Structure formats: C-alpha cells, structure tokens
Amino acid sequence: MLLLGAFAVFNCPAQDGGSGGEGFGLQASIFQITRSVQTNINRNFADVSNYNLTPGDVFDLVLSAGIGLDASAGGRTATYSIQLQEDYTLNIPVLGRIDATGKTIPELQRQISEGLIRALALQHVSFTLSGPAQFNVFVYGNVERPGFVVLTPMHRLIDAISVSGGFKSNGSYRSIRLEREGRSTIYDISRFYSHAELKSNPYLKPGDTIFVPDAQITVSISGLVQFPGVYELVEGETLQTLLNLAGGTLPGAHTERIQIHRIDTRGAVTHLTASAQTGPDVAIFPGDRVVVRSISENVRRITIEGAIYGSRLSGETPVQVPDRSLRIDFPYYPGITLLDVLEEVGGPTPRAVAEESYLKRNDTGEVRNLELERVWHLRDEAGNEKLQPGDYILIPLRRNEVFVSGAVNLPGAVAYTPGYSVADYLLLSGGIDPIRGNLGKIYFLAESGSRQSAELTSPVEPGAHIYVGKKWLFAADDVAQNVFITTAWVTTIVTAVTTVLDFIMTYLVPEPAGSGS
C-alpha cells in the first residue's frame, strides 16, 4: 500500500519568534517556503520519461478491440496488472517475457503496443505505470527520526529527510552524504532550491543510505541583505559566500563598513570591519554575526555594550546586577567623555571584566584598551577618554556559566553553581554517553586549546570548559557509531538510564556507615 500524507521539509521554527523566517536551514525566504512544502507520495505519473525502472513496479495493461454503440454491453476490453520482476523482465500476454533492462517507460510502451497490435489486430493498447516500487532507505545522523523509511523511485534526497522528520538544529544541509553501491557522494541540498540544480537532489534507489552530519560552520547575517537569517558555510567559504547566500546587499547598504561580531571562548566580543570588495579574502568563523548597516544610519552617537546596569544609580535603593549583556546608544555631543557615559549607565557591574574593556573608533577602526577601574573607581581624569561620534565601548561580561562538551547527552552551557564538582555538571548535561563516552578521558579545556585532566570530584570555576573524550572505537569516524542505530537502539536507552543511576550510586551516594571489610 502506498504511503499517503504530507510531511514538512524542515522542522525548525523561526529564531526570533516572528514571521521573518530567520531560522537554521536554507536562505531565510526559501526556508519559509520549503518548511511548508507538501511531500506527497502520490506523484504525477504523467511525465515518467526519466523514471528509473525498479523491481516491484506495477503497470496496468489495457487491450481494446474497439468500442460498440452500447459500450456497457459490447465493450471488448481486457485489463492486466503486471509487475516488474527482480530480473527486470515483464510477463506480457501473448508476447511472453520482455527484458526491460536499460529501457525507459516510453520505449517499453512503444514495444509492447506495436507487438500486441500486430499479434491481435487491436485498436488500442495502453501500458502505464500504476504503482511505483517501494523500498527501504536508511536515514541517520542529525534528523529527528533516524531509521528506515519507505519510499519510491519517484522520491528525491530531500523527501527521505522530510519523512525522517527533517533536520535537527545542528544538522548540515550542505554536506549530506548519500551511500550507494559502495560509493559515498556529498550533496549540498541548498543548490537545489537556490539554483534549481537537480543533481544536488538526486532520485533514490533501493539500498541507499543517507547520513546528515553536524554543521561545522553556522553564522548569521542581518541588516540590508535580501534574505537575512542563519546560514551554514563549508570550509574555505568567506564573507563573499555569505553575502551571496543572503541574496546580496540591498540599495542603501553601507558595503564599505560591514560589521563582523565575533565571540571567543571566554565570551569576549571582537568587532571587525570589512568591505564587500574584500569579501573573498575575509574568513568567517563559527558563530560570527554579520551586520550590514545603512549608509544613512545615524553615526553621531556613542554605543556602550556589556556588563553595565543600564541606567543611573541613585545609591538609595538596592539594584539587581544584570546577568546578561546590555547595549545602549547615546547621542553624541561635543566634549562627552567616557566617565559621562559610564555615569548614565550606572557604571560597570561586578561581573565586568574591566581589564579587557576597550574603545573602538568608528572612523579609523582603531581599538584602544580602557583603564576602566582607574576612571570609574578613582575618577582619574588621566584615563578619561574624550569620545567621538560613532565610538563603540565594550565592557565584557564575565561568563557565569560552565561549558560541557564532548561525549555527553546534552552538551552546552550550564549555569554556574558555587561548590559544584565535575560530576555535578556532567549530570546536569544528561550524563556521559554510555556508548561513546570514556570515563577516563575527562578534561578541562583552556582557551589556548591545551587540556588538563579532571576528576569527577574536581572543583569547577565559572567559565570552565569540561570535555568528555570518546572511546577509541568512536574517535576516528562517526560512521562507526551509527552501526549501533539499527542493532541496539532499544538497549541503548535502557543502558543510558542504568548508567546514570549507577553513576549516581557510585559517585554521589555515600556508603552506609559500617559497610566494607
């Protein structure tokens, strides 16, 4: 029985909660369209000239010797249902077995029609595809429902991903791997939608296996571009590539001062400026935020961002320290200084990384460090910078989080809690992956890339990065770990729960008094 129904091509909501279509996947506007595309299993069989014949295809053969005046009483027709066999042969009445290897449907129609008309003196012969063959395709990796899906030769690569629930938030749509007959080919599905490149979205065949890997480079672009949103880049692509994917800049865009905001591992923000002309030479890194502003945008202002209170403090009432970075713009006036701006925003908070604060000039791009403590606490005029139109002041926010990555079930940032150990943060991250995780390879990662061995009982500082290594079997190739998908997915869930319980009992629950020898 044919599968009927509709499936969303992508399973990803808008990032900003609005209708702008800004989400992970294809260019934002295309993404909005394809997200609601209906993948209907019943395809139009009218155009089957390029259809790949597949064992299991069902054809209707209708023979007609003429229609009398009373069709219901004198109609002389016969209808047969014929299936393509594993050896690519068709058993046709009167004609016997016909070899369909390498033939198209129009060629078969012509051969069968001419042969039967000669043999039986028929007026009309109809030979049509009534039901394409069905077969299993295995889809795994970063899709919502990995496993086998039932498809037909009339379905393409994107259909298999759609039936599997669509891409996960970290899935790559530009490096999809299709494994067929011992060969592996990488496809960029975005080119099917943006350039009508049919070869980027191939038809499927029996035995196909599809793997959706992690997206390695994801960046955002906003402002005066055709399609603002979040994009995936592949290694070696640049600012120019991102601008092209976003449909190019709009009239009025300040193409000479495109802003790139970059966050390092400590949470500090770096602001770069580039032009569209140098775009091919400007490298883009994971997490970059690109902004294309308007030429007419008011530059006679001063911007301060980071660990600030946001308004003047009276000193009479307690004030809660903001736990996030704030950004405030002030109109420029001649003579305005750094201290003037700090007064307006209440000054730096206790979470400020004062020694990393800096000022960036809009006109020259010059960056200079600020003596924040000296200016704010000592009111020393020697460090009190006189500001200019377009100046940008950054006071980095000390991260009050702990990062957990590697072979854990829920990698990401976890709120810092004083007194928690490595074991506590691993539990908050869903525990160590029972299949891939190596309990003997737990490290603290430094910003330089170096690592230091950590124990489950090791204390953790704010901003620390805990990394859990993989077992040797999974360290080299992600393909190996997916072998377990088809053979042990049920026991994996049970093992994961058991492992977390054992972990808690072993490391977190003390032995009863008097136990042991």
Domains and CATH numbers, the chain: 28-41+136-212 (3.10.560.10), 58-131 (3.30.1950), 298-398 (3.10.560.10), 401-508 (3.10.560.10)
Mean pLDDT across the stretch 55-63?
92
Between the CA of residue 465 and those of 95, 145, 411, 454, 474, what are the distances in Å? 73, 30, 11, 11, 21
493, pLDDT greater than 60 = no
Q: In the numeric block, which tokens belong to residue 136? A: 């299993």
pLDDT at 510: 52
Distance separating alpha carbons of residues 324 and 305, to the nearest angstrom: 10
User: Per-residue pLDDT tens for 259-309?
Assistant: 888 877 666 777 788 888 888 889 998 889 899 988 776 567 899 999 898
pLDDT grade, residue 136 (50/70/90)? Answer: very high
User: Per-residue pLDDT tens for 461-487?
Assistant: 887 889 999 887 655 444 434 443 333
Higher-confidence position of 77 and 169: 77
Mean pLDDT across the stretch 319-324?
78
Q: In the numeric block, which tokens belong to residue 126? A: 């109809």
Q: What angle do CA 185, 149, 42 make, to 5 degrees?
A: 100
Report which of 182, 184, 177, 185 is spatially closest to residue 160, judged by C-alpha positions: 177
User: Per-residue pLDDT tens for 446-466?
Assistant: 766 678 999 999 999 887 889
CA dihedral (411, 18, 171, 324) in degrees, to 10, reads: -30
